[in-house]
């Protein structure tokens, strides 16, 4: 039985999640995560969509992971269809932390190729965590369509996702090294290098890939 005092405490915590002061919101998220309660879930999910501070968003995600997946995952799946990019990206991020495989069908091609970079990056990370055994090849096929996208951070995120899938990524990467777009070829070569040598740094792999693309298929590789 929930006492009036407990109910008042819940109300105060929920209000604090929307306070003007970021430090108050941070403490509220920590308090909510430390004492999980299903009544917090909808507000936590809603706040994820609009919270401007990165550290607070991370604690909101942590607080959600402290609840039972069955209490949280359905609400997060709804957010994947939101028009607000932050709602989609933060829900994907939280799903990757929860790791509930039942969310896999919601990681669609549309999310993996989302026009918003942060949504796409979050989708890549979530997909690598949630992909069922036997579906990795299809996932690589979609991820390969994003080779050459964005700047360094974006490309590094994609390379890490592809490399995390292991040797199954090899054929798609080899095919992409023959793409007519030099940016795609360069990214594919760099990722292929990382796949064969995980200890190789991304910058070194990129520089090597640039050299190979510049020299062309008939140039020296040594």
Among 79, 130, 123, 69, CA closest to 104: 130
66/144 same-domain check: no
Q: Give yes or no for a contact between 90 and 48, defined as CB atoms under 8 angstroms apart.
A: yes
Which tens digits make up the pLDDT trace of 183-192? 999 999 999 9
| pLDDT tens-digit map of 1-33 | 444 444 456 788 889 999 999 999 999 999 999
Same domain, residue pair 126 and 16: yes
Tell whether 123 and 221 lie within a shared domain. no
* Boundary-marking domain end, from 130, 160, 180: 130
Same domain, 99 and 171: no
pTM for the whole structure: 0.87
One domain for residues 56 and 123: yes
Q: What is the CA radius of gyration of the chain?
A: 21
Tokens of 84: 């607000």
Report, as an integer, the average pLDDT of 59-85.
97
Question: For position 13, which CATH number holds?
Answer: 1.25.10.10
Residue-number span of the structural domain to which 45 is assigned: 1-130
In the chain, % helix, strand, coil (3-state, to 5) comes to 70, 0, 30
Q: CA of 38: how far to CAs of 48, 55, 71, 92, 180, in Å? A: 16, 23, 7, 20, 52
Mark whether 111 and 170 lie in a shared domain. Answer: no
- Tens digits of residue pLDDT in 145-184: 999 999 999 999 999 999 999 999 999 999 999 999 999 9
Q: pLDDT tens digit string along 26-43? A: 999 999 999 999 999 999
CA dist., res. 216 & res. 90, Å (int): 41
Residues 158 and 57 in one domain: no
């Amino acid at each position: 039985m929930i006492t009036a005092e407990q109910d008042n405490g819940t109300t105060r915590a929920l209000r604090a999640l929307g306070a003007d002061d970021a430090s108050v919101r941070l403490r509220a998220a920590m308090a909510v995560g430390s004492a999980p309660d299903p009544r917090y879930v909808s507000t936590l999910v809603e706040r994820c969509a609009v919270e401007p501070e990165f550290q607070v968003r991370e604690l909101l995600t942590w607080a959600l992971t402290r609840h039972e997946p069955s209490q949280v995952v359905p609400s997060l799946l709804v957010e994947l269809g939101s028009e607000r990019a932050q709602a989609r990206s933060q829900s994907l991020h939280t799903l990757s932390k929860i790791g509930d495989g039942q969310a896999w069908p919601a990681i669609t091609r549309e999310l993996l190729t989302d026009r918003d970079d942060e949504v796409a990056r979050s989708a890549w990370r979530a997909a690598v965590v949630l992909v069922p055994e036997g579906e990795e090849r299809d996932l690589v096929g979609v991820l390969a369509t994003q080779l050459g996208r964005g700047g360094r951070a974006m490309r590094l995120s994609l390379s890490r996702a592809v490399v995390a899938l292991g040797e199954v990524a090899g054929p798609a990467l080899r095919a992409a090294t023959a793409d007519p777009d030099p940016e795609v070829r360069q990214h594919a070569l760099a990722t292929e290098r990382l796949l064969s040598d995980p200890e190789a740094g991304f910058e070194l792999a990129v520089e090597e890939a640039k050299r190979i693309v510049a020299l062309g298929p008939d140039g020296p590789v040594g």
